[in-house]
Structure 1
Amino acid sequence: MTSAAADRPELEKNWNPSDVEEKIYQRWVDAGYFTANPTSTKPPYSIVLPPPNVTGSLHMGHALNHTLMDALTRRKRMQGYEVLWQPGMDHAGIATQTVVEKQLAVDGKTKEDFGRELFIDKVWDWKRESGGTIQAQMRRIGDGVDWSRDRFTMDDGLSRAVQTIFKRLYDAGLIYRAERLVNWSPELQTAISDIEVKYDEVEGELVSLRYGSLRDDEPHVIVATTRVETMLGDTAVAVHPDDPRYQSLIGTTLEHPITGRQIPIIADEYVDPEFGTGAVKITPAHDPNDFEMGLRHNLPMPNIMDERARICNTGTEFDGMDRFEARVKVRERLAGEGRVVAEKRPYLHSVGHSERSGEAIEPRLSMQWWVKVESLAKAASDAVRNGDTVIHPTSQEPRWFGWVDNMHDWCISRQLWWGHRIPIWYGPDGETVCVGPDETAPEGWTQDPDVLDTWFSSALWPFSTLGWPEKTPELEKFYPTSVLFTGYDIIFFWVARMMMFGLFVSGDDAIGSEAVGGGGVQVPFRDVFLHGLIRDQFGRKMSKSRGNGIDPLDWVDLYGADALRFTLARGAQPGGDLSIGESHAAASRNFVTKLFNAVKFALMNGAVVTELPDRSELTDADRWILDRLDKVRAEVDVAFDGYEFGKACETLYHFAWDEVCDWYLELAKVQLSGGAPESTRAGSMARAASTRAVLGNVLDALLRMLHPVIPFVTEELWRALTGGESVVIADWPAASGQIPDERAAIRIADLQRLITEVRRFRSDQGLKDKQKVKAQLTGLDAADLTGHIAELATLARLDVVEPGADFSATASVEVRLSGATVQVDVDTSGTVDVEAERRRLEKDLAAAQKELAGTTGKLGNEAFLAKAPEAVVAKIRTRKNVAEEEVQRITARLEELAGR
């Protein structure tokens, strides 16, 4: 108990999350529970929040990620760690600039009307006024982040980190400028990253064109293309070197049908001779595969489209046309010349589109800045192979190696105004200098107009947010971070790049408190947990186009934040996708309500959190539930430590609902009422007091174990139960150290089975739930259950008649328990439904016969007996014997009923 006991909340009649969640969260923040102390002597535990876009809002993928991270940090805090969960947002270059440009367009303005500096000021204004919606949403779902350390990728400190690492990479020869192929957005007029390209199946056309002579007996080839306009930039036709159809043409040239250039016929093993005609047109400046072939064969690479994807530099009548208009016009001209030999419409094929602007991406040769990734990617790959960073689940390792072992150089420049400006300056005579954070560019020099890819700054997130390149107390305490949580879909775009940059800066910086694996190697995180994608209840990926996306805040409004969180965590399996629907959220809400009502009942019956009596003074039910609590705690610890959130939640759910609520609370009611056999009134009172203590301690531990996943309801209930300050800072449950009472567990299991079977019999007979029936019990002594008559009578609604009393049974139930069979003879005064009883017994007989057939078959299988361990065979023999006895017993009972 703490001094805050006077502040113990009074529980309302019902749990209404919308009434209390906001107040509870603000209380946590005001109390500073989530604020990390870098000077603490506690062991560190740190997680960085994958920075959401400043333009963004929570979707279900965010909600899943945040729930799992919050669960881990809350548990570690309770386990005595100094926890930092680092929040922040990404400036989201393209997305943010697009939002502001659209606002300007409403007034008929463009960014050019304001100029670069004034436009950037307007973006900052928008960020201050409208950005960060997601922060309020994070509070709604209970994110326990350290808001005092909130970071933004364009903050001064983080901008300094970006400039520092750019210069170090540049000076090391790992950043260079070159004309290479990029994903080009004609609408945005910038290169964009692969993750900002979404591929859709579209209906186009496949046109087969004839190059060379129109006469069949003279040199010619036929190629097929879905983008006829790109033929204006063709510089070769390629065939497979072993294709016999083209041996005489390899090394010769053909005249380009429109430009008149002579283009060579080249041989390359990339060409598939089985596909189409076995000949392909090569446009190096507008196709990634053609670009690679162009490099191999030293082909010219004319760029035939400008920044807006209009045809240029061809010297033809098509110059100035939009690419789609040119596609029609070029085809029409070639058709008029007899060079279109086949057309297929519609032709379904995959086309990349800009995620932001929606138009088809144009592969385009462009002068850009690049990171040379070979050595950086090898270091990132080795870190996982050497075990410095562990990927969970390990089944995702091939995905990791597939990316980093085959990584291409990274285009880091973007033709935008909003973002980190590339720190390269050009002199009047073509000189180039990279300017560091404490350096000044020469007077009169001009800075490169491009900005860096958003992923460049977010790749520094684990250490830039802690103050790097300065050697701060935060870096010393919390770096390397403990674990990174993210979806497997951005393993390349973000995770690999953080690994590359983190390992690069560890080479000449002693950042953080400990190098991993020796040799100065410092990974940015010890573990990487990769979760799957959120899918709807039918297993379909959630998307706006399908209309099956779910706003997580809608579920918070309907069911409460705890229900949302429990639904997501319960379904989370390492690396696996998660299918959820509203029924899952409703079920989670019901679980939260069940928990609330259980604690409320316990409080109404005087449950207390206090020192437990000696185990010898406890009942079987008390010892059983305490032993189950110990086992559940151990299972939950293993699950959480292995990032198996679904298993942890499933274990807690069934313990809370099936064992605590459905059984122990019911058994406790008997003990609290004094109904258990006792020789004295004092004994009954002592037993009731023990029960209140056991009930209080079990619920205390259960609430603490559930708190990481369902923090709001557990906070309210735990404070009401214990009078403690907050479950956020309560200790994580520890093992009791007690030896489990196996006999008590067996007796309670037998009691449960006996009660369940009697209840089933009552249901089959159509007896009302509260209707008591007279019953005589035989075999309780042999089953070691004589001490549980009161519980059996109360929970099975029996009026137990002593042996030898005047009693006439109209029906009976035989229940085989672990050590004996108990027969319950019932007098229902003619209310027994004989036909219903017969149906019940026939169903039981079928099950027993199936078990007997299965075990008999196994024991008659010589191959099985030869391979199976003796313990397994013995177990099957026992099952066979039990099944035989059940068949005999049920058959005899059916024969008895036949005479009625």
Structure 2
Amino acid sequence: MAQITKSYEPQEVEKKWYADWLQAGCFAGRANPAKAPYTIMIPPPNVTGVLTMGHVLNNTLQDILIRRARLEGCEALWLPGTDHAGIATQTVVERELRKEKKHRRDLGREKFLEKVWSWREDKGGIILKQLQALGASADWSRTQFTMDPAYSQAVLKVFVDLYGKGQIYRGKRMVNWCPVSLTALSDEEVIMKPAKGFLYQVRYELVDQPGRFIEVKTTRPETIPGDVAIAVHPDDPRYTDIIGKKVRRPLGPTAEIPIIADAAVDQAFGSGALKITPAHDKVDFEVGQRHKLAPIDVLTPDAKLNELAGPELAGLDRFAGRKKAAELLKASGALVQEEPYENNVGYSERADVPIEPRLTWQWWLKYPRIEEAKTAVRDGHIKFYPERWSKVYLHWLENIQDWCISRQLWWGHRIPVWYAKGLDKEKLTEADLADPKKVHVSLDGPADKDNWVQEDDVLDTWASSWLWPFATLGWPDRGAMDKAGFDYFYPTTTLVTGPDIIFFWVARMIMAGLEFVRPGEPLERRIPFKHVYFTGIIRDQQGRKMSKSLGNSPDPLDLIAKYGADGLRFGIVSIAPQGQDIRFQEDRIEGGKNFCNKLWNACRFREMNGEMADNSSCGAILARIEPPKFDADDHAILDRLLATTREVDRCFTEFEFSAAVQALYGFFWNDFCDWYVEVSKAKLLDPATKANCLAIQDLVLRQTLLLLHPFIPFITEELWHLLGYGAPGTFLAKDTLLENCSQMAARGLAIDAKAAAQVSTLKAVCSQVRAFKAEHGEAASKTSEFVVEATDAHWAVLEANLAKLKRMMGAGSITRGAMSPNAPAIVTAYGTWNLIKQLKGDPAAEKVRLTKEIEAMGKHIAGTQARLSNEAFVSKAPPAVLEGARKQLADQQAKQAELERLLKALG
């Protein structure tokens, strides 16, 4: 057996074990009826993506879940893959073309797509290799890509099926439009940014009352030629007498437009009057639809003003047109004033230019299975963590609108619609679209393709990824499904994702699963997953979302090189409480590395203190343990081991990963290393207790490695073998089962709770003393003299362990006594006993310290009382939480009373 080296070098260990895991097929998920399945589908990163801190958190949590499932005896499948990312990938390749002074249209569609595929083969999927550096234990043999042939067939089949059911249609409606990429965008591809501009106050003269005006405020005077009405609120008394009258449009071709009443108008904004430009604003479009007003589009697709804007504006870019429009309005006397104004403007995520709300012909989807999708979450078939996101999800479904599924791109799933040659598709009616002689929809296209022209548009990227949970398992091809283990692995178990795509992806996957999987079977057999865990957003210390553009995000690969993959994983999870945004702290990543070093050194200490006996199983170790030889510390460490195992079990059930890390950290660092290892040193010198002590250490380290493995897989696998826990040719990552508390108890592990409680008391004393020494700048090793003021029962516990206490505390003497009245002293209160450190000189400083401690305790008490008097908290909190809060209050009040007594005793 190899020896544990003096220092831990993660790079070589990580490289070695990952290669071994892959070669041994440790990550393969295969249908196995003898085991329960556990399935996670990776949220497919963009094929253009590289590892970010968000990916680190999301994929570390998935890996933690999948590794834990293997330890629990499940057949675990974590299926990886990438998304073709239509606009993102096309933008990257077009950027490369521009370096050659070319445009995609210079190549033509076919040649351009060849170039995209070439780029994908060369550079796409880099992020998957980076995830391997993080330790991701996905079944890479199953890697999927949303443009793979089989997956593409599934996507197109869904389009054809839904079109046949009347749920997909073509219509001219308002979309987010990118004037650079020349395509519709989803809301997710629009980034809101603050923008500085001007608010223009413009007056419109009433036609039948010359000299009387109605004024509006607008940030976009260049769109005035597209005005079709002025709207006011029907209850606004300022305008009731002119509703129905007409005003003259003050810019562009001469026109008289009506004053209409609509409740969408905000009476408090500006003058309470709103110009209605249906072709250039979503709210205006809806108002125009209600009042049957024909829209006037004054912009070209690339955001230049067209001939409908009038000869003085036509041909100008929208921003130049804005400046020119203001000049024209001022010259005509229609511009009352302009004032600086800042508002949020939507920007195209890829092109980084302001988007345009624009009326275009697009393909739209009426969502399927909306009511069932509500039921799935409302009735608990799918559970959200944190649960609050279920309300957001249900609210969206209550107000759902049709989905624009078409994009004006070349890279993506080309829509399987063909038009008869010679037709102008911009002028097709609903009747034309329903006429198979004019429009053909199928997977393979018409037989006589020479007489037809295929739709240029491709599908929105989300219109492929909403099929991810089942299309990745071979659906709809029965043979492929059987090969992939569809009936075994579906529904999947857990989805880990961000709440920002709860509508774009999570809700849509639920509806897709309910619509297409196992028709006619119960809902719980059709849902795509059973649990959804929503991560928080990683932010910098200023609260800003981390991004490359801000330069506030570290490169995860640099962190791995600096701290090791395990250090990064442990550190990032430790600062990620359930569902909350995370303030990134690199020192916590360093803390993860330090924990790994502590684990390494503790295992090395064990190895140096005795030969390794039979560690091949929990049972083999328990056979070497002799309970009659236990002292209180043995009972205490095993009690804490079982308590920590139960706590980690609970954390996995409740998806509280950060709490699990904190529990493991506290147990291993404080209970095992700082206490048990230290008190073990005396036992290891005694031949009568040495073997039993080492066996207990072996048991604790074995269970600790098992509990830690999902979080820090590399170092635990290495130590597992170095300590002899794994037989040659086996792996902790594949061949080992985690034993729970009941199993260990069944093997004869019985704990003396009273003895364990006594050790808890001793540890509390030492903790108080160490804190005292640190606070007063006294060396930890200095032998100080202490007096204990305690009841007979407490003193009996301390007196029986004086030698141990003095060694652990760094005390020269510990005696029993009482604080002399008015004597200078520093006092540490702990429940029903106190530690007294007699001092020379004025006790004023100690009085100040105790006064501050009493004030701080008063604030804690007030906070706890406020929680317990809060009806919302009391009515919703579990009984155990309520009981804990009440006990906390009682302890706080007792501590405050004791502090006040001690302060009084100081005079």
For the Cα contact (< 8 Å) 2:53–2:538, is it kept in 1? Answer: yes
Supply the distance in 2 between the matched residues of 1:238 and 1:772 (Cα, whole angstroms): 85
For the Cα contact (< 8 Å) 1:378–1:405, is it kept in 2? Answer: no
Note the C-alpha offset of 1:629: 0.7
Matching residue of 2:738: 732
- What runs of 5+ residues in structure 1 fail to find an aligned partner? 1-7, 675-684, 804-809, 825-831, 896-900
Matching residue of 2:236: 243
State the secondary structure of the residue aligned to 1:367: strand
Note the C-alpha offset of 1:235: 1.2
Which has the higher mean CA deviation after the structures are superposed, 137-146 or 586-595? 586-595
Matching residue of 1:552: 556
Matching residue of 2:667: 655
Note the C-alpha offset of 1:562: 1.4
For the Cα contact (< 8 Å) 2:78–2:138, is it kept in 1? Answer: yes
Matching residue of 2:431: none
Q: Residues 140-539 of structure 1: matches in 2 within 5 Å?
A: 140-213=133-206, 218-257=211-250, 258-314=252-308, 316-317=310-311, 318-344=313-339, 346-373=340-367, 375-428=368-421, 430=423, 431-436=438-443, 442-471=449-478, 472-473=481-482, 474-506=485-517, 508=519, 515-517=522-524, 522-539=526-543
Q: 1:802 to 1:134 in 2, by over 3 A?
A: closer
For the Cα contact (< 8 Å) 1:9–1:716, is it kept in 2? Answer: no
Q: How many equivalent residue pairs?
A: 847
Which has the higher mean CA deviation after the structures are superposed, 765-774 or 153-162? 765-774
What does the per-residue CA deviation read over 1:490-547, in whole Å, with 9 as the maximum and x for residues that have no partner?
A: 111111111121111136376xxxx444xxx611111111121111134332234443
Matching residue of 1:689: 691
Matching residue of 2:90: 97
Supply the distance in 2 between the matched residues of 1:391 and 1:700 (Cα, whole angstroms): 33
1:834 pairs with 2:840: yes
Matching residue of 1:4: none
Supply the distance in 2 between the matched residues of 1:86 and 1:873 (Cα, whole angstroms): 46
Supply the distance in 1 between the matched residues of 2:184 and 2:884 (Cα, whole angstroms): 66
Note the C-alpha offset of 1:456: 0.6
Note the C-alpha offset of 1:203: 1.0
Which has the higher mean CA deviation after the structures are superposed, 870-879 or 238-247? 870-879
Supply the distance in 1 between the matched residues of 2:317 and 2:830 (Cα, whole angstroms): 82
Q: 1:71 to 1:874 in 2, by over 3 A?
A: closer
Q: Which amino acid aligns with 2:458?
A: V
1:45 pairs with 2:41: no
Supply the distance in 1 between the matched residues of 2:176 and 2:860 (Cα, whole angstroms): 64
What does the per-residue CA deviation read over 1:820-845, in whole Å, with 9 as the maximum and x for residues that have no partner?
A: 88999xxxxxxx96349x67975786
State the secondary structure of the residue aligned to 2:193: strand
- Using the size of structure 1 for normalisation, the TM-score is 0.87
Note the C-alpha offset of 1:340: 1.1
Q: Which amino acid aligns with 2:534?
A: L
Supply the distance in 2 between the matched residues of 1:274 and 1:846 (Cα, whole angstroms): 54
- What runs of 5+ residues in structure 2 fail to find an aligned partner? 424-437, 616-620, 817-822, 875-881
Q: Which amino acid aligns with 2:796?
A: A
Supply the distance in 1 between the matched residues of 2:814 and 2:333 (Cα, whole angstroms): 104
State the secondary structure of the residue aligned to 1:783: helix
Give the alignment partner of residue 567 of structure 1, picking from 563, 566, 571: 571
Q: Which amino acid aligns with 1:327?
A: R
Supply the distance in 1 between the matched residues of 2:155 and 2:883 (Cα, whole angstroms): 66
State the secondary structure of the residue aligned to 1:127: helix
Supply the distance in 1 between the matched residues of 2:783 and 2:233 (Cα, whole angstroms): 88
For the Cα contact (< 8 Å) 1:392–1:529, is it kept in 2? Answer: yes
RMSD value, Cα = 3.6
1:593 pairs with 2:597: yes
Q: Which amino acid aligns with 2:185?
A: I
For the Cα contact (< 8 Å) 2:226–2:309, is it kept in 1? Answer: no
Q: 1:441 to 1:597 in 2, by over 3 A?
A: farther
Q: Residues 698-737 of structure 1: matches in 2 within 5 Å?
A: 698-724=700-726, 725-729=730-734, 730-735=736-741, 736-737=744-745
Note the C-alpha offset of 1:35: 0.6
1:664 pairs with 2:659: no
Which has the higher mean CA deviation after the structures are superposed, 753-762 or 33-42? 753-762
What does the per-residue CA deviation read over 1:712-767, in whole Å, with 9 as the maximum and x for residues that have no partner?
A: 22121222123413221321231122554221112212332444456567778987
Note the C-alpha offset of 1:29: 1.4
Q: 1:440 to 1:527 in 2, by over 3 A?
A: farther
Q: 1:873 to 1:49 in 2, by over 3 A?
A: closer
For the Cα contact (< 8 Å) 2:207–2:248, is it kept in 1? Answer: no
Q: Which amino acid aligns with 1:709?
A: F
Q: Which amino acid aligns with 2:504?
A: F
For the Cα contact (< 8 Å) 1:47–1:484, is it kept in 2? Answer: yes
Q: Which amino acid aligns with 1:656?
A: F
Which has the higher mean CA deviation after the structures are superposed, 727-736 or 689-698? 727-736
Give the alignment partner of residue 794 of structure 1, picking from 793, 807, 815: 807
Supply the distance in 2 between the matched residues of 1:847 and 1:341 (Cα, whole angstroms): 62
Q: Which amino acid aligns with 2:464?
A: S
Q: Which amino acid aligns with 1:666?
A: E
Q: 1:659 to 1:211 in 2, by over 3 A?
A: same
Supply the distance in 2 between the matched residues of 1:774 and 1:844 (Cα, whole angstroms): 20
Note the C-alpha offset of 1:63: 0.9
Q: 1:872 to 1:580 in 2, by over 3 A?
A: closer
Q: Which amino acid aligns with 1:570?
A: S
State the secondary structure of the residue aligned to 1:463: helix
Supply the distance in 2 between the matched residues of 1:501 and 1:843 (Cα, whole angstroms): 66
Supply the distance in 1 between the matched residues of 2:562 and 2:556 (Cα, whole angstroms): 10
Note the C-alpha offset of 1:439: 7.7
**Identity among equivalent pairs (%):** 40
Q: Which amino acid aligns with 2:72?
A: Q
Supply the distance in 1 between the matched residues of 2:884 and 2:332 (Cα, whole angstroms): 84
Q: Which amino acid aligns with 1:705?
A: L
1:25 pairs with 2:18: yes
Q: Residues 888-899 of structure 1: matches in 2 within 5 Å?
A: none
For the Cα contact (< 8 Å) 1:780–1:822, is it kept in 2? Answer: no
Which has the higher mean CA deviation after the structures are superposed, 73-82 or 330-339? 330-339
Matching residue of 1:898: none
For the Cα contact (< 8 Å) 1:845–1:891, is it kept in 2? Answer: no
Supply the distance in 2 between the matched residues of 1:537 and 1:407 (Cα, whole angstroms): 36
Note the C-alpha offset of 1:690: 0.7
What does the per-residue CA deviation read over 1:219-258, in whole Å, with 9 as the maximum and x for residues that have no partner?
A: 5322221111111111111111222332232223333333
Q: 1:256 to 1:886 in 2, by over 3 A?
A: closer
Which has the higher mean CA deviation after the structures are superposed, 247-256 or 882-891? 882-891
What does the per-residue CA deviation read over 1:425-445, in whole Å, with 9 as the maximum and x for residues that have no partner?
A: 112375111112598565521
Note the C-alpha offset of 1:176: 0.5
Supply the distance in 1 between the matched residues of 2:721 and 2:902 (Cα, whole angstroms): 53
Matching residue of 1:679: none
Note the C-alpha offset of 1:378: 3.3
Supply the distance in 1 between the matched residues of 2:349 and 2:504 (Cα, whole angstroms): 15
Give the alignment partner of residue 608 of structure 2, picking from 564, 582, 604: 604
State the secondary structure of the residue aligned to 2:574: helix
Q: 1:696 to 1:272 in 2, by over 3 A?
A: same
Supply the distance in 2 between the matched residues of 1:870 and 1:427 (Cα, whole angstroms): 74
Q: Which amino acid aligns with 1:459?
A: W
Q: 1:441 to 1:493 in 2, by over 3 A?
A: farther
What does the per-residue CA deviation read over 1:345-368, in whole Å, with 9 as the maximum and x for residues that have no partner?
A: x21111111110111101111011
